[in-house]
């Protein structure tokens, strides 16, 4: 990848997309086309076609499509599925028709079956029923993987797929309803601290386990596989190896935020998958490792949350 090659990050405004743009800039890539402010509607085939015709990207990373935490997936399964299906079909198809040199499609660890042997390896994809709380979103992601594989087989396109662990970080969705567990708990626990609430409600039993990856590390892994990985028929897991229970995660966030109240688990709320841990042997064998410790990443994410809050002027900051 030459430093001046035109590169398009589809979904540059998302958590992972914005981390990718930061990482590309910091690694000296100068020709980033279709910045988030262009406001390209990926659900419109005509708009995507028009964009590719004019911008002619040579490398594409697909980090677009609506996503959210467990509650968003339960409340808006159709919205999530449609948005992901439409946007990925348009971008992958345009990438094929306009002769993109290489494309990296980002799927999700929820594409794995609910009862998947752990750590999850790519051979287990499509081997069993999905977790019901996110089956619509996961099915769209599986379709995206299959479309990339099919384009490669039928047309010889170099379209590869990455499956990230649960990503979190700067530019995350910190709302209690929409966010994934880490940003949602940062928002909830910070608010409890500011409002001197005696306790915070944590959904579920606290026992499910998740592998987390800081979005900036994930972006680094994406650029690594874009350079080093060419097996179009075998997706590659993009994980950090940092696995925690939800209870442990909440406890660490409480320490980072400096909240002294109690964490109360509400077992009536859904747990989702009991465990999501990725087999990252292929990635680590190729020589990639995450750089940021979970605590450093949580601290950076909390700083980003405080910054965002200050910008929105929703409330005074108490650190």
16 close to 164: Cβ distance less than 8 angstroms: yes
Nearer to ligand GDP, 248 or 271 (CB): 271
Q: Which of 267, 237, 252, 268 has the alpha carbon at shortest distance from 302?
A: 252
Is 137 among the catalytic positions? yes
CB 28 → ligand GDP: shortest distance, Å?
33
Nearer to ligand GDP, 149 or 301 (CB): 301
SS3 of residue 162 by DSSP: strand
Nearer to ligand GDP, 21 or 110 (CB): 110
- Which positions ≥6 away from 196 have C-beta within 8 Å? none
CB 108 → ligand GDP: shortest distance, Å?
8
- Which positions ≥6 away from 68 have C-beta within 8 Å? 76, 80, 173, 178, 179, 180
CB 49 → ligand GDP: shortest distance, Å?
32
CB 121 → ligand GDP: shortest distance, Å?
18
Report the alpha-carbon distance of residue 245 to residue 296 in Å, rounded.
Answer: 18
Q: Which of 184, 304, 319 has the alpha carbon at shortest distance from 253?
A: 184
Q: CA triplet 73, 210, 109: central angle to 5 degrees?
A: 55
Q: Does an H or E element contain 69, and which?
A: none
Nearer to ligand GDP, 22 or 269 (CB): 269
The structure tokens listed for 318 are 């108490």
Catalytic residue among 8, 105, 112, 137: 137
Q: CA quadruple 82, 98, 7, 47: dihedral positive or negative? A: negative
SS3 of residue 171 by DSSP: coil
CB 313 → ligand GDP: shortest distance, Å?
24
Nearer to ligand GDP, 44 or 124 (CB): 124
Residues in contact with ligand GDP by CB under 6 A are 69-71, 110, 134, 166, 176, 179-181, 184-185, 188, 202-204, 208, 210, 246, 269-273, 276
Residue 65 backbone class (left: φ over 0; alpha: ψ -120 to 50; beta: rest) = left
Residues marked active site are found at 137
């Amino acid at each position: 990848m030459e430093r001046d090659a035109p590169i398009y990050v589809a979904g540059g405004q998302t958590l992972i997309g914005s981390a990718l743009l930061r990482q590309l800039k910091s690694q000296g890539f100068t020709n980033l086309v279709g910045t988030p402010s262009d406001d390209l509607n990926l659900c419109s085939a005509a708009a995507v076609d028009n964009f590719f015709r004019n911008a002619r990207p040579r490398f594409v990373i697909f980090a677009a499509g609506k996503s959210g935490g467990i509650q968003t997936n339960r409340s808006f399964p159709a919205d999530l599925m449609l948005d992901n299906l439409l946007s990925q079909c348009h971008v992958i198809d345009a990438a094929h028709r306009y002769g993109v040199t290489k494309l990296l499609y980002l799927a999700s660890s929820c594409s794995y079956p609910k009862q998947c042997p752990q750590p999850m390896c790519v051979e287990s994809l499509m081997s069993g029923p999905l977790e019901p709380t996110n089956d619509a979103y996961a099915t769209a992601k599986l379709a995206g993987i299959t479309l990339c594989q099919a384009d490669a087989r039928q047309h010889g396109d170099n379209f590869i797929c990455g499956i990230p662990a649960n990503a979190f970080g700067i530019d995350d969705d910190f709302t209690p309803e929409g966010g994934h567990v880490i940003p949602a708990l940062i928002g909830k626990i910070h608010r409890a601290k500011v409002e001197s609430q005696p306790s915070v409600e944590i959904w579920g039993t606290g026992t499910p386990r998740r592998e987390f990856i800081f979005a900036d590390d994930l972006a680094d892994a994406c650029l690594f596989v874009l350079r080093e990985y060419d097996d179009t028929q075998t997706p590659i897991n993009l994980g950090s190896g940092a696995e925690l229970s939800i209870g442990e995660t909440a406890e660490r966030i409480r320490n980072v935020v400096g909240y002294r109240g109690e964490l109360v688990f509400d077992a009536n709320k859904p747990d989702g998958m009991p465990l999501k841990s990725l087999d990252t042997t292929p990635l680590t064998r190729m020589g990639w490792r995450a750089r940021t410790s979970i605590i450093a990443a949580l601290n950076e994410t909390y700083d980003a949350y405080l910054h965002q809050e200050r910008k929105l002027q929703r409330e005074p900051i108490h650190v």
